[in-house]
Chain A
Amino acid sequence: MTTSHAGSRPTRRRIPRLRGDARNLPVAIAFLLPATIGFGVFLVWPAVRGIWLSFTDYSVFAPGQFVGLENYRRMVDDPVFWSAMNVTVQYVVINIGVQTVVALLLAVLMQRLTRSMWVRGIILSPYLVSNVVTAMVWLLLLDYQLGFVNELLHAIGLDRVLFWGDPDLVIPTIALVNVWRHLGYTALLIFAGLQTINPQLYEAAKVDGAGEWASFRRITLPLLRPYLAMVLIVTSIGSFQVFDTVSVATQGGPANASNVIQYYIYNVAFTRYDFGYASAMSVALLVVLSVITFAQYRMTRAGQSDVN
């Protein structure tokens, strides 16, 4: 990269510099404008409105009245809310834990074993299918009576497992069903990152006598860090908002064992018409997600790139 003298103003040629430069501002604004419009109108404004609603008793049909912190007090006392948060955290831990590890493994395998488009296509294929359909086919496969998996277990001599109906098993079941769906997508994201690692680094490592595991640990992981970080942040935020599967497969049951927070919020809003309270819980969810994102961003130092 050519250097320049700090503070010098080019007089003969327009030489753009990557420095804090107010002259970039108009161009930057031009680049940013459409995205900012979308962001402002469809993200920020509804979010602000949502926060406002959390302080009212808005119920869809009638304009709400300001009720101060009442919704929040109610939330703190609500056992179902805390159970929902608990259930959701369990879900996220299982889902993201399994998903990230297996996706990383898969991405490396794809990188090292075969670049075959067939393999990549197959691995990604569950993501093509919507959550609704994923839930339906796994409802069928894991069904206690009709399910193939249970028949298999029965044939081996094990007991049938009540995947969807046992309160202790339902969250791991949903988590693993969603791992099935998102594995390819996550692996693809990581794979895209793997593409940017210079293969000559691996060759050099081989020459130096490094094995697969050592080059994975010393080359792949560090260079992959920004992408892994991004993947981790994005997938955990998405995971916290699990909804479709619960809505289709278990409707929060049995006995609230799969009543994740987003589903509870939805129920409060759209079947009990209490948008004020639903908004308050959404604010709480927002705070939780912010904390987690911030923590992950810091811990993985996602803002820095290790390309050197």
Chain B
Amino acid sequence: MTITSASPQARPAAGRLNSRRVRRPWVGRALGWVVMGLVLLVTLFPFYWMLRTALSSNAALATNPTSLLPVDASLNGFRRALGLTTRQESLEQGGFGATIDFWRYLSNSVVVATVVTVGQVFFSALAAYAFSRMRWPGRNAVFAVFLAGLMIPSIFTLLPNFVLIRDLGLLDTLPGIALPTMFMTPFAVFFLRQFFLGVPFEIEEAAMLDGASRMGTFFRILLPMAAPAVSTLAVLTYMTSWNDYLWPLLVSQSDRSRVLTLALGVFRSQAPAQAPDWSGLMAATLLAALPMLLLFAVFARRIVNSVGFTGIK
């Protein structure tokens, strides 16, 4: 795969093109930036709104709903989200009275998401290799079956999986939450296979000619070349697992296996007389998103570095 780090914006120095085209790329680029700017604004504003609401107090929110700055600013939202207020205090602030074991929920989420991501990405990559790099009898048929799995709506497997997890005695445990997605998802296999198909085979073939095993070329050649896709998949899987709501809701019965999204759901549905604890909810959201942001920052760098890798033509 040849991807250079040279910017695609480099224009050829040919003079005869510049005179005809120099204005149009400039306008196009400006327009592009305007669109990009709009998208960035719309993307970011709700996050700002979350921050602003988290720093406001609930009572003031009702009377002053649209001020761009926090109203009646205080850190109480965050204190409620972290479980640092007493029940009395939190009821007075418009929150609800239950206790929040924030750090435990956080660690539960981390464990589940990590196990699921590592397992799913790795096992799916193995399978994708088999589907794209090897010919064997029945390959296309088996892949079609895997692909068919993409179409199974999640609600379809929800109850039978729930009963299965119960029968395995894993209800209200973290492995119980992780198991169904820990091995593979059809999407992961599909995604990686599509990607592997686009990667030229010569390097691996050369290695195999030199006597390397399939496993060896998989680890030492294909995976590094596929690092952008694998990293992307890993990040996506982590996020999906982190944000999963309905399945953990059914499996988890108590604090010991409760993950962060459930805690957020708890904020939502506690609702004294149905008005949500907006500032607490938004504070909890921000706290929950923070690990994801840090994670992405780390992985984003990896992806950029991998993109700079040059291979042999």
Residues of A within 8 A of B39 (CB): 102, 106, 123, 183
Q: Does B77 contact A (CB under 8 A)?
A: no
Please tell me if the beta carbons of B135 and A124 are within 8 angstroms of each other in the complex: no
Residues of A near B129 (CB, < 8 A) are 31
Partner of B155, one of A120, A137, A143, A241: A241
Choose among B11, B242, B268 the residue with the greatest number of A CB atoms under 10 Å from its CB: B268
- Encoded as 1 (CB less than 8 Å from any A CB) or 0, chain B from 118 to 159 comes to 010001101101100111110100100011111111111111
Residues of B within 8 A of A38 (CB): 123, 180, 182-184
Q: Which residues of chain B are within 8 angstroms of A244 by Cβ–Cβ distance?
A: 245-246
Q: Give every chain B residue within 8 A of A283 (Cβ-Cβ).
A: 156
Q: Is the interface of B mostly helix, strand, loop or mixed?
A: helix
Please state if B183 and A131 are interface contacts (CB–CB under 8 Å): no
Which of A15-23, A71-79, A93-101, A163-171 sits within the interface? A15-23
The answer to whether A37 and B183 touch (CB under 8 A), given A137-B50, A203-B12, A206-B17, is yes
State how many residues of chain A have any CB contact under 8 Å with chain B: 117
If A2-B205, A203-B12, A275-B159 touch, whether A31 touches B127 (CB-CB below 8 Å) is yes
Counting chain B residues whose Cβ lies within 8 A of the other chain, the interface size class is: 35 or more
Cβ-neighbour of B135 out of A19, A125, A128 (below 8 A):
A19
The contact of B46 among A138, A184, A185, A227, by CB within 8 Å, is A138
Please tell me if B1 contacts chain A, counting CB pairs below 8 Å. Answer: yes
CB pair A105 B153 closer than 8 Å: no
CA distance A120 to B39 in the complex (A): 11
Q: State whether the Cβ of B169 lies closer than 8 Å to any Cβ in chain A.
A: no
Residues on the B chain within 8 Å of A185, using CB: 236
**Is the Cβ of B36 less than 8 Å from the Cβ of A119?**
yes
- Determine the chain B residues whose CB is within 8 A of the CB of A241 once the complex forms: 153-155
Contact status B124-A202, CB under 8 Å: no
| Minimum Cβ distance to chain A for residue B113 (Å) | 12
Q: Are B134 and A307 closer than 8 Å at their CB atoms? A: no
Q: Which residues of B contact A290 (CB under 8 A)?
A: 148, 151
User: Complex Cα distance A59/B12, Å?
Assistant: 70
Chain B residues with CB below 8 A from A25, complex form: 136-137
Per-position 1/0 for B26-40, Cβ under 8 A of A? 001100110110011
Closest partner residue, chain B, to A150 (CB atom): B66
Q: Determine if A49 and B160 form an interchain contact, defined as CB atoms under 8 angstroms apart.
A: yes
Partner of A234, one of B119, B155, B190: B190
* Residues B209 and A13 in contact, CB atoms below 8 Å apart: yes
Please, which residues of chain B bring their CB within 8 A of the CB of A122?
40, 43-44
Q: Tally the A-B contacts, defined by beta carbons under 8 Å.
A: 312
Flag if A293 contacts B155 (CB, 8 Å): no
Question: Do B155 and A243 touch (CB < 8 A)?
Answer: yes
Interchain CA distance A231-B253 in the complex, whole Å: 36
Contact with A along B245-284 (1 / 0, CB 8 A): 1100000000000000100110010000000101001100
B229 in the interface (beta carbon within 8 A) = yes
Which residue on chain B has the smallest CB distance to residue A304? B197
Q: A2-B205, A151-B66 are in contact. Are A47 and B194 (CB under 8 A)?
A: no
Min C-beta distance of A279 to chain B, whole Å: 7
B139 contacts across to A, CB distance below 8 A: 28
Interchain CB contact under 8 A, A146 and B65: yes
**Chain A's nearest CB lies how many Å from the CB of B105?**
13
Q: What CA separation (Å) do A42 and B304 show in the bound complex? A: 35
Tell me, rounded to whole Å, the shortest Cβ–Cβ distance linking B239 to chain A: 6
Q: Does A129 contact B (CB under 8 A)?
A: yes
**Cβ-based interface call for B103 (8 A):** no
Contact of A137 with B65 in the complex, beta carbons under 8 Å: no
Please, how many angstroms separate the alpha-carbon atoms of A102 and B211 in the complex?
47
- Rounded to whole angstroms, the CA-CA distance of A106 and B37 in the bound complex is 11
Chain A residues within an 8 Å CB radius of B152:
43, 47, 286
Residue contact A192 to B66, C-beta cutoff 8 Å: no
B35 touches A230 (CB 8 A): no
| Contact A286–B155 (Cβ < 8 Å) | no
- Sorted nearest first, the 6 A-B pairs with minimum C-beta distance are A38-B183, A130-B243, A46-B160, A35-B127, A146-B65, A46-B157
29 intermolecular pairs with C-beta atoms under 8 Å apart? A20-B136, A27-B130, A28-B139, A31-B218, A34-B123, A34-B184, A35-B146, A38-B180, A43-B152, A45-B164, A47-B160, A122-B43, A128-B243, A128-B293, A130-B288, A132-B261, A137-B49, A140-B49, A148-B65, A151-B66, A196-B195, A199-B3, A226-B198, A227-B194, A230-B191, A230-B194, A248-B268, A269-B159, A289-B151
